[in-house]
Amino acid sequence: MDLLNSNYIIDGVQMNLTPAQMLRECMSEPPLEPEGDKETLADESKDPAPDKHGYDERKALQYAQKVEALQKRSLPVAFAAPYTAGKVAQALIDAIWQGGHFRLGDLSLKADWKWNGKEIGLPAAFYASVESACDYIDALGVKIRKYSLTGGDPAVGFKAVTAAGEEADEDLPEEETLLRDLPSRKARLSRRRKVAPTLQPEESDWLLFIPFDPCDFRLGGSALAQALGTSPSTAPDIQDADYFMDCFEVVRELVEDGVVKAGATVGEGGLLCALRAMAVGCGADICIRDISKAYGDEKPVRVLFGEVPGVIIQIADIDYDYVDAELILEDVVYYPIGHPLPGKSGVRITEKVDLPQILESLLNTLEGED
């Protein structure tokens, strides 16, 4: 069964392109299309089961432990398209923390699929995965450098590289950083991480959550759903490429300017699992109440475990006003969610986080107006 080069009929509808043709249109150096007749694959989409599971908001930390205990994350076949878009976003965000000098348009992606077509629904899910990847990657203005398909249980992964296809061993020398924005400067992506992956022990610092897509928090296809054996019927609808680009560029500038002291990608496992991975040697005190309110009183478990792509960054209190201005200038929404807890371990979820003085004064002024 040739999953890449076959024509597809899915749910009785003839698809216009083969997966290989879609991928070639997204590649910087597309290979030649194979000659010969193409076989036709007819398949049906696998629909998710209705969500009938209730979640106990008091068990968030227990849920996080179950997610972290997963031995192997399985690709959610019924959610192959949104899951794949999330993996594309995660790979690009992972590059933000690296050294060097680059922007989103300087990056390309290596894509790897593992798949088989032995069961009903798997060929259709593969087609949906490739289509989702190509649509999102094209909208982001990046290219696929190369791709592969091997046999096995369904899985998909991406890795960001520069347009040259490789990573540099070293970061830019200090004396060259002032020249980094010259038109002649080549994009460089260092293997060395510029930003610490774990929290720095400074209690006055701020932890900010920046979602890179305005979609709602949903648990369909999430690691939490797999860990608990549940079947939520809706996944995050990740598709706003323009907003992703705005978020990427402003956060990348903050990283290159040395403003970000620690950072983590929010992807598989969601916000809480990303925070727990950062809280090694230094704990965190966080509150997500403002996020829940901003999304229409969204349930905390969805906010904590919905796999909406984004970042958590740690910044110094003295830099808060500057970061606030930069994010507002680009119309990027962010949420102050808490502070590091030096001498502690793990993440503590609280009911309130103290606002920066400038925001607190503004809110008090607004509340006092007639």
Average pLDDT per 10 consecutive residues for the chain, totaling 370 residues: 92 95 90 75 87 83 94 91 98 96 94 93 96 97 95 96 61 47 65 94 97 96 93 92 98 97 97 96 94 91 96 98 96 96 91 55 42
Return d(Cα 87, Cα 79) in angstroms, integer: 12
**Which residue is it, tokens 């209690």?**
203
So what's the pLDDT on residue 179? 45
Strand partners, 151: 115
**Which residue is it, tokens 């994010």?**
327
Name the residue among 181, 364, 179, 211 with its Cα closest to residue 302: 211
Task: Mention every residue, 6+ apart, whose C-beta is less than 8 A from residue 82.
Answer: 132, 220, 221, 235, 236, 237, 238
So what's the pLDDT on residue 55? 87
In degrees rounded to 5, what are phi and psi of residue 280? -110, 110
So what's the pLDDT on residue 102? 92
Q: How much is the CA Rg of the chain, to the nearest whole Å?
A: 22
Return d(Cα 5, Cα 44) in angstroms, integer: 18
Residue 267 tokens read as: 């992807």
H or E segment to which residue 100 belongs: strand 98-101
Contact at 8 Å (CB) between 341 and 356? no
Contact at 8 Å (CB) between 239 and 138? no
Burial 286-315 (b: 16+ CB within 10 A, else e): bbbbebbeebeebebbbbbbbbbbbbbbbb
So what's the pLDDT on residue 162? 85
- Look up the pTM and report it: 0.89
So what's the pLDDT on residue 367? 42
So what's the pLDDT on residue 52? 72
So what's the pLDDT on residue 249? 97
Beta strands in the chain (DSSP E): 7-10, 13-14, 40-43, 98-101, 107-115, 143-151, 155-162, 188-193, 206-211, 262-266, 282-286, 310-315, 335-342, 347-349
Beta strands in 152-217 (DSSP E): 155-162, 188-193, 206-211
The domains located in the chain, with CATH, are 1-43+98-172+188-193 (no CATH), 59-70+195-359 (3.90.650.10)
